[in-house]
Amino acid sequence: MSTRETDSETADVLIVGGGVAGLTAATFTARAGLDTIVVDTDESILARNAHLENVPGFPGGINSRRFLDLLAEQADESGARRETGRVTDVERSDDGADAFDVRAVGDGAVGDSDETRVFRTDAVVAASWSDASYLDGLGVETRDAGSKTYVVVDELGRTDVEGVYAAGRLTEKYHQAVVAAGHGAEVGLTVVHDSEVPYYHDWVTPEGYFTDRGREVPPGCEEIDAEERERRDAASRERTREAFDGPHPEPQRTHPSLVDDELGRLDE
């Protein structure tokens, strides 16, 4: 097997893991204008859920694979780039730049590629339940509990290594989707606040909300007029209809140890 290494791609922030926390973090960093890459192996543990009934906004519940698809679509819509691959290693750039080099490989579960891709990034967010091994070389503080390793973070998601953050279940947050999403948002915003990007809040408001009170529209916020509001409302209704039009095409997943499939897909 070849070990070809490609030239590095650059980003302001690289998020390891495109599950609930990682995709939500990406939505916030990308919306704030940070060039964001998500590298993921498509193994969100939420895909094993049989019907998601406790995520706010879905009183009838939602298919968990559909929920993950919608999070991914939203990250794309916000401008994040998503790549398939398993992150194996993160190290400080050796050319004196205040950045990290992130290595990712394809493997059996995530495609046929055997090339190693290198990403150069100013910030790393580990949202990769349940793998934090790629942080070993940086000496990020972790906590072992049985077979699991958790990344230790402060109350805003910063690890003890500057520029490295962690989000979701990997940080020992409660094992619930909404908690992972909320933490992903919070950690994404911490990355934004630690960057050079001017920022207030990520808000969309009616026209005049700030300006009619003699204020500039703060950075990160947007005022929209009635016509634009109606256009967005119509587009969102149409999109939501399309997204829920029929059963989700992917099979239910279960624990991979129970079936002969690396992603735990049930043959129903």
Ligand X SMILES: Cc1cc2nc3c(=O)[nH]c(=O)nc-3n(C[C@H](O)[C@H](O)[C@H](O)COP(=O)(O)OP(=O)(O)OC[C@H]3O[C@@H](n4cnc5c(N)ncnc54)[C@H](O)[C@@H]3O)c2cc1C
42 versus 223: smaller Cβ distance to ligand X: 42
Q: In the bound complex, what is the minimum distance in angstroms from residue 95's beta carbon to ligand X?
A: 24
Q: In the bound complex, what is the minimum distance in angstroms from residue 25's beta carbon to ligand X?
A: 9
Q: In the bound complex, what is the minimum distance in angstroms from residue 31's beta carbon to ligand X?
A: 18
Task: Enumerate residues 6+ apart whose C-beta is below 8 A from 245.
Answer: none
Q: In the bound complex, what is the minimum distance in angstroms from residue 195's beta carbon to ligand X?
A: 22
- Of 45, 39, 29, 1, the closest CA to residue 220 belongs to 29
Residues that bind ligand X (CB under 6 A): 16-22, 39-46, 48-49, 52, 54, 86-87, 127-129, 131, 134, 168-170, 175-178, 180
Q: In the bound complex, what is the minimum distance in angstroms from residue 72's beta carbon to ligand X?
A: 10
140 versus 180: smaller Cβ distance to ligand X: 180
Lookup result for tokens 């926390």: 21
Task: Enumerate residues 6+ apart whose C-beta is below 8 A from 229.
Answer: 206
39 versus 191: smaller Cβ distance to ligand X: 39
93 versus 149: smaller Cβ distance to ligand X: 149
Q: Which residue is nearest to ligand X (CB)?
A: 19
User: Virtual CA dihedral for 34, 158, 42, 261, nearest 10 degrees?
Assistant: 170
The Cα–Cα gap between 19 and 166 comes to 13
Q: Which residues of 180-209 are buried (b: 16+ CB within 10 A; e: fewer)?
A: bbbbbbbbbbbbbebbeeebeebeeeebeb
20 versus 220: smaller Cβ distance to ligand X: 20
